[in-house]
Amino acid sequence: MRCFASAAEVKIAIEGMMCDGCSGRIEKVLKGMETVKSVKVDLEGKSATVELAKGDAASAEAKTAASALVDTINSLGFEAKLAH
């Protein structure tokens, strides 16, 4: 559920997280991205919920940002994909 109509929320499925260190690393890196407003990584649920700084979920900007999030997580050695 979104708090602001202008914010987009992206859910990402992540495989390969083994501990709090893994989830913390992902969270730290994503929080450092300028397109990200907030991040919640769920180790047990193998996912991350990311609120983008601007745009709505259907915008091209949000889709580009979501793709960049997945690529960033994959570059850290995990297997990420957008959750449906």
Q: Is 3 domain-assigned? A: no
Q: Is 2 domain-assigned? A: no
Q: For residue 13, give Cα distances in angstroms to 17, 21, 42, 60, 77.
A: 11, 17, 10, 21, 14
Q: Is 64 domain-assigned? A: yes
Type of residue found at 38: S
Domain assignment of residue 53, given as a range? 12-82
In this prediction the pTM is 0.86
Q: Is 26 domain-assigned? A: yes
Distance CA 20, CA 22 (A): 5
Distance CA 78, CA 30 (A): 13
The confidence band for 59, taking pLDDT boundaries of 50, 70 and 90, is confident
Residues 2-55: pLDDT tens digits? Answer: 344 456 899 999 999 999 999 999 999 999 999 999 999 999 999 999 999 876
The confidence band for 61, taking pLDDT boundaries of 50, 70 and 90, is confident
Q: How many domains does the chain have?
A: 1
What integer pLDDT is reported at residue 52 of this predicted model?
92
Q: Is 35 domain-assigned? A: yes
Q: Is 34 domain-assigned? A: yes
Q: CATH no. for residue 44? A: 3.30.70.100
